Amino acid sequence: MATIGWSRRRGRTAVLAVAVFAALVMSSCSSSPKSQSSTPSGQSAASGSGTPAAAGSTTILNVNDGRSGSYTANFNPLQSTSVNSGAPGPMYETLYFFNQLRADPPMPMLATAYAWSDGGKTLTFTIRDGVKWTDGQPFTAADVAYSFQVLKDHKALNGNGIPFGTITATDSSHVKLTFTAPSYSNLWYIAGQTYMVPQHIFSKMADVVTDLNSQPVGTGPFMLQSFAPQVYVLKKNPGYWQAGKPQIAGLRFKAFSGNDSSLTSLIGGQIDWEGGFIADIDQVYASKGPNNKYINTPLFTTVLLPNLTKFPGNDPAVRQALNLALDRDGINKKAFSGLDTDANTALLLSPRDAKYLDPSVAAGAKIATDTAKAQTTLESAGWVKGSDGIYAKGGKKLSFPVEIPSGYSDWVAALQVMQQQLKAVGIDLRPTGVSNTAWNSDLNSGNFTFALQNLFGGPTPYYLYNTWLNTASQAPNGNNSARYSNPDVDKALATIAGTNDAAVQQKAYGVIQAQVVKDLPYIPIGQSSSLTEFKDGNTGGWPTASNLFAIPAPWAHPDLGIVAANLTAK
């Protein structure tokens, strides 16, 4: 189970050119537009205090979750790298919700309390009473124990490497987990990224690892109404355990061939909610209608991801040269409308993670373009520039494809800029577009040389480090698609996970950062913010700059379910 079940390999979408919007006249939502509201939701995601929806509310939001190509009927939330966005969050829930945008305490969802004991080796949950699966069966402590047992029994689903010991439903409302090592820092993985599944259904599957669960039964605010390869619809769960939620009638997920078609649909009223980059967003989108709103939230670092098991990404000199040769400011201005901010090779988000940066690596973590040094770095490692201006070594040219989903046109633009910059140094980068499905598959299987990727983390740097650097998180079991492995990093991650001592954790962070700055397993391009576009003509309660109660993007999991459950129907 990959750490970032909600976002995984989701590239930012972009549109560099848009055709004609005037001919598109479809309404913004399934119901007729109503007056918009500027009142942000102040409710907690699981407070159960929402205002009851008006009888007969028919608002169904049309959602673009970034899928390029067709959907498959995969609603198995345990398959976090291939499941449809409508499953984790809207249909299947976690024990707690962790808000990555604010320093909020974990929010109770399917559990109401937790307690550590035995030096971080035992964790006990109190399970919420009165919750039912959408087939009417009660949600029980046995379901919780089963959901964790599935992860323990199937390494392919335990990509975070949670060191499970015993898993026991001690009574009807309590589950006790033991671990073979202290696991304080695994709390987000355990309580916030593990989706509870019904034992009475999943235990009958021939293989929970591969079964698509095409007839999903969950506890969440929505349930499946219909499915087709280009569109599937979720309807509200009338028996949802949070009183008065959801207010909207449902969510309609639509697949698109690429960014141009999706933005055309957004402007024309066929899409109400999406999360993607739009160049000159105020002019291109916000000015086209009074209900066209957006919000920008810092979330991730965009990187050039090498396959460390293949030539030439397995050569440290190549990775160092790439880091030195790329002009991030030029890439940002030409491809990302200047919205990105400076990244660092320690892979920390700024300014949120500034306190975690070890002073001994701070200078080395800064990125500075130096094309002359890039060339001397290659030449010192035995690379020789040929008559065509491209370096070669051992009869192999420094020429490689960089794989991206073909619909992500900001990434297309970024690669075009990078291609020009690197050619001037003697490196031949070849942009290669594939379908979103193929991109995910290639990163999982290792059938790629380089790719662009967004590195997501969690409430602290530990989660990004553990997701993308831990040997135990290597794809296909996790998101470590680079196949990076460093025993010093693995040991430091185990130290962080096994203590609540901030000083001990800080020392371990320094070890990780020193190794990552030296090894460059990922070459940062920029610290990227996430744009989310939505239309509030028929709905209120969206996250705002003053009330970031969840990540607003519809590809964020389980945040998608939190946001949708808290929207108010006008």
pLDDT digits (tens, 9 = 90+) for 193-221: 999 999 999 999 999 999 999 999 999 99
The confidence band for 353, taking pLDDT boundaries of 50, 70 and 90, is: confident
- Give the pLDDT score at 460: 86
The predicted structure's pLDDT at residue 34: 31
Q: Give which of 100, 551, 29, 93 is closest to 247, Cα–Cα.
A: 29
pLDDT in tens, 123-168: 999 999 999 999 999 999 999 999 999 999 999 999 878 999 999 9
**Maximum mean pLDDT: which of 55-64, 167-176, 451-460:** 167-176
CATH 3.90.76.10: which residues of the chain?
93-202
Report, as an integer, the average pLDDT of 28-35: 32
Banded model confidence at residue 259, pLDDT cuts 50, 70, 90: low
Helix then strand count (H, E) for the chain reads 15, 21
Return d(Cα 33, Cα 30) in angstroms, integer.
9
456-505 tens-digit pLDDT: 888 889 999 999 999 999 999 889 999 999 999 999 999 998 898 889 99
pTM: 0.73
pLDDT at 37 over 60: no
Residue 290 has pLDDT above 90, yes or no: yes
Q: What is the pLDDT of residue 187?
A: 94
What is the percentage of the chain residues whose pLDDT exceeds 90? 74
| Structure confidence at residue 28 (pLDDT) | 32
Domain at 298-528: CATH architecture: Roll (3.10)
Task: Select from 285, 250, 237, 291 the least CA-distant residue to 538.
Answer: 291
Q: Identify which has the larger pLDDT, 504 or 42.
A: 504
Least confidently predicted of 119-133, 165-179, 333-347, 376-390: 333-347
Given a cut of 90, is residue 42 above it in pLDDT?
Answer: no
Domain with CATH 3.10.105.10 in the chain: 298-528
Cβ neighbours of 77 (radius 10 Å): 28
pLDDT at 338: 85
What is the C-alpha to C-alpha distance for residues 24 and 128, in angstroms, rounded to an integer? Answer: 47
| Two tokens, residue 160 | 């975070």
Residue 376 has pLDDT above 90, yes or no: yes
Neighbouring-strand partners of residue 544:
547
Q: How confident is the model at residue 171 (pLDDT cuts 50, 70, 90)?
A: very high
Homologous superfamily of 64-68+220-291+536-569 in CATH? Periplasmic binding protein-like II (3.40.190.10)
515 to 318, 370, 462, 520: CA distances (angstroms): 17, 22, 15, 8
Every domain range in the chain assigned CATH 3.40.190.10: 64-68+220-291+536-569
Which of the listed ranges 53-57, 225-229, 545-549 does the model predict with the highest average pLDDT? 225-229
Class of domain 93-202: alpha beta
Average pLDDT on 339-358 reads 90
CA atoms of 435 and 440, how far apart (whole Å):
9
Which residue has better confidence, 21 or 520?
520
Mean pLDDT of 58-72: 90
Structure tokens at 188: 């987000």
**Residues in Cβ contact with 251 at an 8 Å cutoff, skipping those fewer than 6 apart:** 60, 61, 63, 86, 90, 222, 233, 234, 564
**Residue 41 — pLDDT band, cuts 50, 70, 90?**
very low
Q: For position 67, what pLDDT does the model report?
A: 79
Name the least confident of 50-59, 126-135, 329-338, 546-555. Answer: 50-59
What's the burial of 474, exposed, middle or buried (CB within 10 Å: 0-12/13-18/19+)? buried
- Report the mean per-residue pLDDT for the chain: 88
Inter-helix orientation angle 487-497/502-519, to 10°: 160
The pLDDT value recorded for residue 232 is: 97
